[in-house]
A and B are shown apart, each in its own frame.
Chain A
């Protein structure tokens, strides 16, 4: 068991500095740019095929990121900035479907799926458990004869 503890320690020593680093030295610029990226990742690049404003290198995405930067400088909140783009380009520009109207389906159905799966599994499990606990059915003569024959002829038959 001591060995196990050492194993963990070794791995902690390896993994944790990296995590520690991850906190890094963060100045104001980095926070700003990270926020720009995060907001950009929630907006669809209007001219690309299926890329976000945060990911894309297209001219319009760079412009939209600049717009986000300006709006942050004006002290707007994340929601206000997203609403600004939603008003300009429509719901379509939001990569995270709003939790309202028809969009609710896409949010609710996965939860329904998990719950239904878990419930189905629970139901099956209770049934199987009950079966395991139930006494064995009566053995009929035919089965008994087969078992005895098998035992007589050995495992390799």
Chain B
């Protein structure tokens, strides 16, 4: 019996016990309003976090010391792997990923238990967190056990999936993804607490505003970094293939994006109570459904690493969570129904509502396309495929609609648009749209979606300029200060608003990148003899040499290709294939020349053998693709800026405190 395995099992069971206590004690305490019980259940959060931290630490020690008596280590690790690979092997397969998920969740739960304001919602919110936590500890503790003991102890393991250990993004992307999923559990917990305590006002969303933004920000960052990772390792020069795993990570993002917009309508106009509750319930349960779909093997994916027995368990939890949430919503229906009114459809709330419809329609289309093959197979027994061409056609019109609304929405005032200003603004935006559309056409763009995209980018840039001038110009008139100073002060005083403008600008940059790289990419398969050259898109590719490198645990074989333009060597690329010890799979490892206007992407189409005196390259020229990553960074910075505590946040907190004190007296 392995000592680390025993230790890990013990701490995991402790975590399970603590989280169960958080659930049961919390629920009983909240029902009886028993302060001691509530406090005790609150402590369970910190205790669970400690136990989960210990569990993760034990697993890391087992991985780093190559303790193959622990089943997870024996199945996924290898002595020859570099240290960073051993560390991140924690989330290279299902059982370890669940540990990571449970650990991060316990971290959020613990932090929430420390910092959440003392509202009537808090005990219930913590109880819901405990319930989710119990599930995410229970699965690795009972069903997908990483600490089983292995006997006889193997001397060597296979190492993690080669696609994973081939790139350092492995250390970043999954972490961000779970931080996003787990972060969005907090507003869900508060939403359920709001339903249980029958306080469906804005309190629950004010309490969780930052958590929501943090969760959304991490999920967004995770999806974009995932795209970049695909670009760097999958070898075809793209970043998004509408693969089931990509789709199911995208679904909660869509509903969460709808959510962060529509809660503003409730904050300002007290509308959409039921709708917002529904959106956050959907967001949370879609993460469960997605995990079920991709971990159960019912839909196959290039990214599903290691299927386990947990598929049905996730399906069960999805059904229970969704059923209970919907039951609660139905129970409180009379209190959450909207009795509000709308002054004018052309208003901020009107545009947010329309945007909601588009986001939800896209959620529906993507979900349908992802699970449609299942339905058809169940109904007729036929195997069918729904792939990228379907998703492109189904989502592009909706994206165009969203871009359109993104331009007009922030310029519309709440309640009612004053006709004069609106007309002036629309005129400028139309001008921006026309300028961009005509310029794109003049430069030879003919395809319809790229043209519409560029037109809408013009529309949106005009809108952003109007938003900024709208606040800067009046302030300039009343004071002696310069433009930069005024802008800085505005940005400082309106962090959320300014942050959202930055995020929207990032979205535009990404839209341009997606447009260019998907509509105008050039893809060519080229065979070059070693020592000679071939032309590609204004470059001359010199296959200068081939190489073979061996490090412990890895063999790389590839070609050295000089890129020449106008008689000068611009850069040298080394596309290769890697083979990892213990794994049969050959992993293509492309080499990329990054440029702001286009990337040149080289991938060896087939392994360069020792006897071989030529190389077959897949050369891709991908216009503007870097803009996607830059846009992503801009959006991340904007989100972070909106999270900086500011005057606005302080004001909201103060108002909330006052409201609570008033309600308690």
Contacts and interface: CB of A to CB of B under 8 A. Distances in A.
Contact of A34 (B340, B345, B523): B523
Contact of A125 (B350, B369, B388, B525): B350
A107 B386 CA distance: 10
B394 to A, nearest CB: 5
A19 B357 contact: no
Interface of B: 234-236, 238, 241, 243-244, 299-302, 304, 338, 340-345, 350, 353-354, 357-358, 360-361, 364-365, 368-369, 372, 376, 379-380, 382-390, 393-394, 398, 428, 432, 435-436, 439-440, 443-445, 454, 457-458, 461-462, 465-466, 469, 512, 516, 519-525, 537-538, 588, 596-598, 603, 605-606, 618, 621, 623-624, 658, 662
A8 B302 contact: no
A49 B368 contact: no
B516 A106 contact: no
B525 A44 contact: no
The SS class assigned to the A binding surface is helix
A125 B623 contact: no
B301 A44 contact: no
B13 to A, nearest CB: 35
Contacts of A22: 445, 516, 519-520, 598, 623-624
A69 B248 CA distance: 34
Given A12-B435, A22-B624, A30 B364 contact: no
Contacts of B444: 19-20, 23
Contact of B384 (A1, A91, A107): A91
Given A50-B302, A97-B385, 9 more contacts: A8-B458, A19-B516, A49-B301, A50-B241, A91-B382, A102-B376, A107-B390, A121-B353, A157-B662
B524 A30 contact: yes
Interface string A49-65: 11110111101001001
Given A52-B387, A57-B603, A62-B606, A113 B364 contact: yes
A17 B618 CA distance: 26
Nearest to A35: B523
A145 interface: no
Contact of A102 (B299, B364, B379, B624): B379
Interface in A1-40: 1, 3-4, 7-8, 11-12, 15-26, 29-30, 33-34, 36-37
B243 A50 contact: yes
A20 B300 contact: no
B99 to A, nearest CB: 25
A129 B342 contact: yes
A7 B461 contact: yes
Contacts of B596: 18
7 contacts: A24-B621, A30-B522, A55-B234, A55-B241, A95-B388, A110-B365, A113-B361
A25 B538 CA distance: 8
Contacts of A15: 436, 454, 457, 512
Nearest to B393: A96
Contacts of A34: 521-523
Interface in A87-115: 90-97, 102-103, 105-107, 109-110, 113-114
B381 to A, nearest CB: 11
A26 B444 CA distance: 13
A95 B439 contact: no
A152 interface: no
A23 B446 CA distance: 10
A54 B238 CA distance: 10
B361 A128 contact: no
